[in-house]
Structure 1
């Protein structure tokens, strides 16, 4: 377990030694408040697009199921007659001076990052990576998009937004409720009051924010990493125990999902956005390797032949869909 994983375990378990970091937390919160105030008062510029912008983000570190919700939102908008595009910072990638970078299924993951390429594959929508979110959004609008989804854009305040959606892990919640580095929060919990909607990934095991909606990650099918062939969930396309590989914000959730499917798991957790090598996947015992769609973007060329991807989709509750439809009607 690396330093990052140990820290996440501590903040979600409220380890007592984190109290030593509270002076740094105070300074962090002051800096966050000053930055927000600068945008709110016009000291820092906010660019407002001529088309609606929906921001999907989170207030915690450690993975919440945000990317599957972004993919669902893109497909939902298409079904309602919109022409959406997705803008992302492209964490883990570096395109040098090529920004804004239009992402395709064959774009090198080292340039665009794993999540943007996964979203491009899953949705078929225009996806642009740019650390400058307004510039990336402009590129999407110039390409014909009439609505923009900003992936993980909650803290990127330079891009104006019409709808803010905050995603929370229903199991982990807000950990010890404290901000970095004494806790997992990017912003104080009062930030939830500013959002248009809060979505819980799975039934919460804590008292959720008032009015929060629930969505679930539903396993859909298996995909062979070797040839792209797709198979139903059952019967399983492999047998025996599997090596489960997850370089995501919350590997334990993936391992639990596999166990719920009746699969005997040998877990291998890595840091979020981990850069895999062939040695990381060389278990030398002939057992199948199973991974997330996000990890598959980086492992396509280095995974052993008997490697499989579990494809999942977000399913929000009907009440949220009705709420979103009403909001979108006002934006048209």
Structure 2
């Protein structure tokens, strides 16, 4: 974990030196973003109505909150409801031959970005990537889509939207509550009251009593259970359930219990917003981690840096990382597929929202 993240999310001693230095930049960030929102509200900058109804799935902080698992869950629900859904994404980390770019069976993570490619590989629904989200939505309309899920884009006020969902990491929540760069937030917590749903991904270690305790430099998450008190916005609880391990080279899929019987000790990598969350999930699956190495989010892996980790034992990674390693995968490389789950009452609220979006637009 980077030092700045320890300062943002945990009571690291370096906060006393770093935060005061960064506060002037945070004030400038607040001024610029506030002015931008004001210009959109008063009509100086115009927002465009897209060709299809849009539900934005975003966050007010840095990544790693669980937007992609929620997107996959909503895709499944749309299919059950008979709604033809499409996805738009900025395609971070990808370099497509043109934009907007419609992902196809020959696309790669290097072209589309790791998260859009992962969603396409899992779901097969139409996905358009590019910075011009309005153009991407128009492209999806040509594919016959009825509804668009925007993977991120909460702060993209140029695009009008019909519904907004904020995803919050239940473990890290909002860190020290400050805006970038002194804190992890892109918008203040006031934004929580303006959306349709808040989805909390998992619980904090204090809530779960998890055995995997933070190190001395990570004592006590800064936030507490009062983060959502007083809000009228519905707060839905989401959990990520491990489903199966899938071999990158062969495509073989085996259940979690069967995998552990064969491979009780593994090496693990993760290039996501919070690698520790993935490693904790593996430990909760009763796997012993010989070595767990985190990388920065969207890290572009090479065969050379992973070969050593898989020389003596299986290497396990996230599904998002797997799409970047498929081309040079070895036979003892696996990824863990996880599925988002909700309580019945919370799931029904999301179902009703999806149906309303299609029926009223």
- Tell me if both proteins adopt one fold, taking TM over 0.5 as the criterion: yes
Q: State the Cα RMSD in Å.
A: 1.5
Matches within 5 A, 1:115-130: 115-130=115-130
Runs of 4+ in 1 over 6 A off after TM superposition: none
Shift of residue 321, structure 1, vs aligned partner: 2.1
In the alignment, is the contact (CA less than 8 A) between 1:222 and 1:230 conserved in 2? Answer: yes
SS of the residue aligned with 2:313?
coil
Structure 2 counterpart of 1:296: 322
C-alpha distance in 2 between matches for 1:16 and 1:303: 44
User: Cα gap change, 1:297/1:328 in structure 2, threshold over 3 Å: closer, same or farther?
Assistant: closer
CA deviation vs aligned residue, 1:247-286 (integer Å, no higher than 9, x gap): 1100000000000011011101000000111122022642
3-state DSSP of counterpart to 1:200: strand
What displacement does 1:182 show? 0.1
User: What TM-score comes out, normalization by structure 1 length?
Assistant: 0.95
Work out whether residues 220 and 310 of structure 1, in 8 Å CA contact, stay in contact via their aligned partners in 2: yes
| Matched residue, 2:37 | 36
Query: Are residues 1:254 and 2:251 paired?
Result: no
Distance change (3 Å), C-alpha of 1:329 and 1:118: closer
2:59 touches 2:167 (CA, 8 Å); kept in 1?
yes
Residue 106 of structure 1, CA deviation = 3.0
Q: CA deviation at 1:42?
A: 1.8
Q: Which consecutive unaligned segments of at least 5 residues does structure 1 have?
A: none
* Aligned length in residues: 328
Tell me the secondary structure at the aligned position of residue 236 of structure 1: helix
Q: In 2, distance between residues paired with 1:329 and 1:264?
A: 44
List aligned pairs for 1:159-238, cutoff 5 A. Answer: 159-204=159-204, 205=207, 206-207=224-225, 208-209=227-228, 210=231, 211-236=234-259, 238=262
Work out whether residues 90 and 113 of structure 1, in 8 Å CA contact, stay in contact via their aligned partners in 2: yes
205-214 or 56-65, which deviates more: 205-214
Give the C-alpha shift of residue 19 in structure 1.
2.2
* 1:324 aligns with one of 342, 346, 350: 350
Superposition pairs of residues 30-179 of structure 1, within 5 angstroms: 30-96=31-97, 98-179=98-179
Specify the alignment match of 2:303 in structure 1.
278
In 1, Cα distance between the equivalents of 2:155 and 2:95? 20
Partner residue in 2 for 1:10: 7
Q: Does the aligned pair in 1 maintain the 2:52–2:137 contact within 8 Å?
A: no
Counterparts in 2 of 1:285 and 1:329: CA distance versus 1, 3 Å: closer
Aligned residue for 1:259, secondary structure, equals helix
| Distance in 2 separating the partners of 1:275 and 1:329 | 38
CA distance in 2, matches of 1:95, 1:67: 20
| TM-score, normalization by structure 2 | 0.87
Q: Give the Å deviation of 1:240.
A: 4.0
- Asked if the contact 1:104–1:121 (Cα under 8 Å) also holds between the matched residues in 2, the reply is no
Following the alignment from structure 2 to structure 1, what is the Cα–Cα distance between the partners of residues 91 and 3?
Answer: 25
User: Aligned partners of 1:106, 1:296: CA distance in 2, in Å?
Assistant: 16
Q: Is this contact kept in 2: 1:222–1:309, CA < 8 A?
A: yes
- Give the Å deviation of 1:6: 2.2
- Check the 8 A contact 1:240/1:287 in 2, yes or no: no
Q: Give the Cα separation in 1 of the matches to 2:194 and 2:40.
A: 14
Deviation at 1:108, TM superposition (A): 2.1
What is the DSSP-based 3-state SS (H/G/I as helix, E as strand, rest coil) of the residue aligned with 2:242? Answer: strand
Tell me which protein shows more helix as a share of its residues. 2
